[in-house]
Amino acid sequence: MVRAIQIDEIPRAADLVARVFSQSNSELRKSLSHQFTQIYPNRPNHYHRAYRGAFYKSKLVSFLYVHDFTLRYGRAALQVAAISAVCTDENYRGRGYAAAVIKDTLTYAAEQGAHMVLLYGIPDYFSRFGFSSVWPQYTLQAPTDIASGLTQSLQLRIATPDDALVMRSLYNQHWGARITVERSSALWRWRLENSRGEAAVALDKRGRIHGYIWHEPHQLSERSEIVANSPEAIMSFLAYSGRRWQHEGKSHFVWLVPPDDMIIPYAQQILPITLQASYFPSGGWMARIIDSTAMIAELMPEIIAQARVSSRNFKPRELVLEVQPDGVEIGLKSNPDSFCRLSLRDFIQILFGSLRPATLAMREPLRQVNILLLETLFPSRVAAIAAWDWF
């Protein structure tokens, strides 16, 4: 049987997650159990139906967590169901329980009105459920010995819920132009109330906040979110991370940093850095469209706005962008040669920038007019999930 977890069953679900993912790390096991029993149930807009499980003779044997959020794509607001913590009791693996829970969750997402489902998947598994890779993971790596010796001119202190308004403004300023998660005021307060000691703000002598840094608790991890609004903030965060990772015996530290972040051009002037974009053909960040008609309707104003910026001659009334049984048809009414049909997989990859039209033309019969139209409608944009929103 596959169904939503009842409230009194949440401790059982938390225990399964903790056992599977802790890998005999007692501190991590305790932390995971606490997250799923105490923290996630208090998340804004959380429902116990977000816990989905498969049962064998009343025993919970497989589980996943799904929550809803809004993904900003310019002026478009895409409703997304995010899947995480997919796990199965080791004694019941290989019997199709995880697959059953995932299929149940796709139905649940459709019932909730989601445009798409998103997850960070292990390689060679989720593609069988219609998921496609949509964007890479971006990282910045720097040597700890050099970073630790930098001057930390700003004071760092633990962030509190009272800092939420300023931090939200900084996040919107630096991440708002990307394709990324929208954070409500309630979500900001929930994060800060449950992340004391993991988020810090950088203050000048007048007490003004110039940025913040958040890192995953209890372990060194590249899952860190850095928003810096001044060179002093960037320098202070580099010094902080350098000392923190050096203290743990690491020669380099790693941040999750998109390629358009102002951190990169400043950091590369003061220490050697390595930038990387990690792509996975059947893993990493993956998405599946649930309601393509509603999704395109929501996207259309932003697509037209992008096209107008890209081409002065673009006429919105000429555009045809329709969902077909085998994909999406795109073209201009006045030019029959401009029409092409994209599979849903190719459409979502072009939409989010992991596939460029010229690259698609290497395996699909696209004319130059098709390529030019697709590039006009879908110019290259950075899509990334900030570390605090990872699931």
Mean residue pLDDT of the chain comes to 94
H or E element in which residue 378 lies: none
Question: 176-193 pLDDT, tens per residue?
Answer: 999 999 999 999 999 999
Compare 324 and 357 and report the one with higher pLDDT: 357
Q: Mean pLDDT throughout 135-149?
A: 97
Q: Would the pLDDT of 206 be above 90?
A: yes
Q: Would the pLDDT of 197 be above 90?
A: no
Q: Mean pLDDT throughout 155-177?
A: 96
CATH topology of domain 2-133+281-288: Aminopeptidase (3.40.630)
Q: Which residues contact 12 (CB under 8 A, 6 or more apart)?
A: 5, 60
What local confidence, expressed as pLDDT, does residue 326 receive? 81
Question: 8-20 pLDDT, tens per residue?
Answer: 999 999 999 999 9
H or E element in which residue 308 lies: helix 292-310
Q: Which range (1-5, 104-108, 323-327, 378-382) has the least confidence?
A: 323-327
Q: How far is CA 302 from the centre of its chain?
A: 20
The pLDDT > 90 percentage for the chain reads 87
Q: Compute how many other C-beta atoms are within 10 angstroms of the C-beta atom of residue 34.
A: 14
What local confidence, expressed as pLDDT, does residue 47 receive? 78
- Where do the DSSP E strands lie in the chain? 2-4, 51-56, 59-73, 76-88, 116-121, 132-135, 137-143, 155-158, 180-181, 199-203, 209-215, 224-228, 252-255, 274-278, 284-289, 319-324, 327-332, 335-342
The reply to whether 2-133+281-288 and 138-278 are identical in fold is yes
Q: Mean pLDDT throughout 328-337?
A: 97
Q: Would the pLDDT of 215 be above 70?
A: yes
Q: How far apart are CA 315 and CA 46, in angstroms?
A: 43
Q: Mean pLDDT throughout 23-32?
A: 87
pLDDT band with cut points at 50, 70 and 90 for residue 216: confident
Pairing type for strands 76-88 and 199-203 reads unpaired
The answer to whether the predicted template modeling score (pTM) of the entire model surpasses 0.75 is: yes
CATH of 138-278, one of 2.10.69.10, 3.40.50.300, 3.40.225.10, 3.40.630.30: 3.40.630.30
Q: Would the pLDDT of 218 be above 70?
A: no
Question: 336-386 pLDDT, tens per residue?
Answer: 999 999 998 999 999 998 899 999 999 999 999 999 999 999 998 899 999
Q: Would the pLDDT of 44 be above 70?
A: yes
Q: Would the pLDDT of 219 be above 80?
A: no
Return the SS3 of 217. coil
What local confidence, expressed as pLDDT, does residue 203 receive? 98
**Which amino acid makes up residue 191?**
R
pLDDT band with cut points at 50, 70 and 90 for residue 129: very high
What local confidence, expressed as pLDDT, does residue 114 receive? 97
Instruction: Map out the domains of the chain as residue ranges.
Output: 2-133+281-288, 138-278, 291-377
